[in-house]
Amino acid sequence: MAIGMTIFRSLFHSLAALVLALVAAAPASAHEGRSGGKLMLTDGIASIDGAAGGGLASWAVIAGSETKDGIGATANATLVALPDFDLTAHGAAVGVYDRLELSYAHQRFDTRAAGKALGLGRNFAFSQDIVGAKLRIAGDAVWGQGTILPQIAIGVQHHIAAQAPVIRAVGGRRATTTDVYAAATKVLLARSLVVDATARWTDANQFGLLGGGGGGDRGVRRSLHAEASAGYLVTRRLLVGGEYRGKPDNLGFAREGDAVDLFAAWAVRRHLTATAAYVDLGDIATFRRQRGLFLSLKGGF
């Protein structure tokens, strides 16, 4: 499994580098003049899990700017800077004929000085790999494309966390866990609105970084949690809004709260998007009020 994941990760790193190189090398006029592609910002940015969507929530849209006539791809990098912790993530996704999405993300959670207080050692880091797939099953994200039905997709994300002994020590039941979700997304161009609602069936602790499940009276079963995003297109290049993501609370040693953010996503070029957000991840491992800055860069075609 470890050798296979190393090879898998290397392939996606190569894809990410290729996507960013293509975006950087192509002239701006070529990006702006791409006919038949999706409208800017309507394919979302990239969630911290690697799937196309918002920063926190996975949307029903498929990664990349291509429509049903082609294959697109994106690469992304994200930093979440909190008072006591840092989260970095990078990944890539491929969209096949605007129908199927395959995604990968690697997350690293640095405990900084808090690691020593938790008995793990200063700068101890948790990490995980997330492999995902999403299938569009009905509707269209953009109003006026033949249906008023929102774009609806189902997805799966398999989390493979490192540091399994530590995860078990803090009460996690296993180092791997799988989320299943369904999302509905609609872009109302006449009102300059982007809205999404997602339901996720999960037992992941802290987005999967602390494995899945728990013990004792906290329970070990999966539960259904809501995610929601709403954004306003100030211009065709600037989307501002907010998100909510519900999370399980499985571990007895520390309460886990839900996450929210306020974001601004700017289409720097046709296929390059920068996002900044104020994010509140709640309490993490006994450290309260983890609120900070979310920065993300996504390139693709």
Residue 5 — pLDDT band, cuts 50, 70, 90?
very low
Choose between 265 and 11: higher pLDDT.
265
Q: What domain range includes position 292?
A: 2-300
Number of domains the chain is built from: 1
- Ranges 11-25, 49-63, 276-290: which has the least confidence: 11-25
Residue 34 — pLDDT band, cuts 50, 70, 90?
very low
Choose between 60 and 145: higher pLDDT.
60
| pLDDT reported for residue 23 | 52
| pLDDT for 150 beyond 50 | yes
Q: Which residues contact 85 (CB under 8 A, 6 or more apart)?
A: 109, 110, 111, 112, 114, 284, 287, 290
Instruction: Compute CA distances 261 → 48, 171, 285, whole Å.
Output: 13, 28, 20
Q: State pLDDT tens for residues 90-109.
A: 999 999 999 999 999 999 99
Q: State pLDDT tens for residues 181-222.
A: 999 999 998 899 999 999 999 999 999 999 998 764 455 678
Residue 171 — pLDDT band, cuts 50, 70, 90?
confident
Residue 268 — pLDDT band, cuts 50, 70, 90?
very high
| pLDDT reported for residue 33 | 40
CATH code of the domain containing 74: 2.40.160.40
Percent of the chain surpassing pLDDT 90: 61
Residue 30 — pLDDT band, cuts 50, 70, 90?
very low
| pLDDT reported for residue 35 | 42
Residue 145 — pLDDT band, cuts 50, 70, 90?
low
| pLDDT for 174 beyond 50 | yes
| pLDDT for 47 beyond 80 | yes
Q: State pLDDT tens for residues 243-262.
A: 999 999 888 887 888 999 99
